[in-house]
Structure 1
């Protein structure tokens, strides 16, 4: 279906827009009026020929019953004018149909043009208007049978034929109208489906970008915090023993190397093909942390000089699903990163409890920092990301200061039995 046909079939083109527009005709508009297409020309010619043939048959009947010559001439002129008026059937369907119904009362030659106008009216206008004009057409046919009777046909037969013809024309027009409306409805539904699919794809891409951004924050913040802590230690302790300086430099080197590797992996995911693969978060391209790797995270933090106590009281840890273990790891990682930045030197406690069916709880708590901790800039995006992560997993996350001036981050995640 072309766009021109689609505009022709629009339901708005089937409502009465007034005498100055022609919504029923497809084509481009020039000077405010639509231009006729080859299809319009073909249909108009066919309708004109049909109306002319019906008019010629009525003219033969009128001539054969002995009507005066001037009456026959007037009938022919009225029929010719009615056929030519069909050019305006799309522009003024209501006015033309009503006019031709009136003319057909005294000029049977215009009956063919009246039938075409009634069909056009049925296709392009609501049933209420069609019912009124159709009733007028039936009444006009009955009056015509009285004023201009055909001697070879009884009044009853003429009345039955009039009613049947009008009902057939109206029924056919309503069928065409319904079919066009169905096509328009299916076309609109297809367009809406395409728009919804594009919207879902856009939302999936947005969620993928958010997941990648959250992953980058969780991974890189931990590495860069280690860099910051050890670089600060070297800055404020230039007289440190060579062994400590070498150890700090080694940690800085390793952390920078790991941060670069993590960044390369994320960028590789962003540059990789995404067609048909769904939203990419990077989880498919890198080994993901689990609950078993939490010990390595704590050991890494201790090597960086942090005091970390791990209280692991999870029943059947080997049965913890990988997704839950990954979320626990990220929450603990962010909690340790925040404690390292805002409470350097304080002992951090990581507590894990839970069992299948009860859920799994992770809490990272640190006391108030010793002395005046140097201010560290932070946007709070890490905690926001953790809250989103816990919510998406069906759990919840709480964070805030403790009564002793410290800070805690705690989360509960569902763990099915």
Structure 2
């Protein structure tokens, strides 16, 4: 009899924690359990509620409170269970919501999980829904701003890589992304659109679709590198490869991206046949070729700026088959700001000053590229037509004279044109840096 009772007791599953991850259009609630959950659920109306039953599961002593400003879930509470061995949760909802409930096997830092995604049916994604001032709203086909989509890697349920002292990659990437956002929005003729603004997970296909909704001209994804050993160091810039990654680090990162989808809860990018069909069709078009060429050109610009700030892991842009780079109509790059698995670089990446310098390097590169290659309907195109970017040296002209004429400096003129001295030759063609 004692043996039978003990086995029954051991059969009870245990809830270790309940975590709530709110985002603008959905809320994720995660139950961390010792064993695989045996669950069922149903919806109730008037008022709107989601009810979840967990079989052979113990109660958690306390449930997390829901912030007052929460848009989807107003309260999480217990209700009378089916039987003495079960537990029943009730999600009181603020409005109409679509539930997606699924179990996840142990992966990374997590044991078994039951994931509840509640999607707000009333939510409408609007490109203009940012913190930007009214003056930065995008005009249609008339001196418009160049739109840069900024993707802070990982988030919410997916912490990304974890540094030796416990630093989460998802926190570093969001901090750098917000610094880059501030710089872009302060620049006349440019505007940013953040893929995520807080600590929540956005699956990989959704990241590029959000950029498309916001009419992005360019997509930059920010990450912090990692490897199985602490020795590797340095920043790197990645572009899309339609084949396998061209380095061991690249293969590791491709695996990490797939792992992120599992941490986030849906490995959708691996099984989304519709996306693969969309990509296959787009490959027949010239748009992918254009996007990849643009992405590589920007990647080279970013590397030239980053090497002034950080040690570089590689001298050239690297290629890998990352899902966030596969959008055929939006040029994109992925910037690995350093190895968070390296103790020295982890300390640097946590530094506000270093984050600012990294963000500035990315910003300068994007601005420089689009000053030279502006979309026809952009303000940058108008500025380029008004101010020349080339100058042919005439008799009597000097670097100081030209710097004064074009509102730049002698040092910038020398740097842009790779000049070793102040000597100019008649007929020599100079690139004029745009201010």
Interval containing the TM-score (normalised by the shorter chain): under 0.3
The higher radius of gyration belongs to: 1
The structure with the largest helix share of the pair is: 1
Instruction: Give me the TM-score of the superposition, normalised by structure 2.
Output: 0.18
Instruction: Give me the TM-score of the superposition, normalised by structure 1.
Output: 0.19
The structure with the largest strand share of the pair is: 2
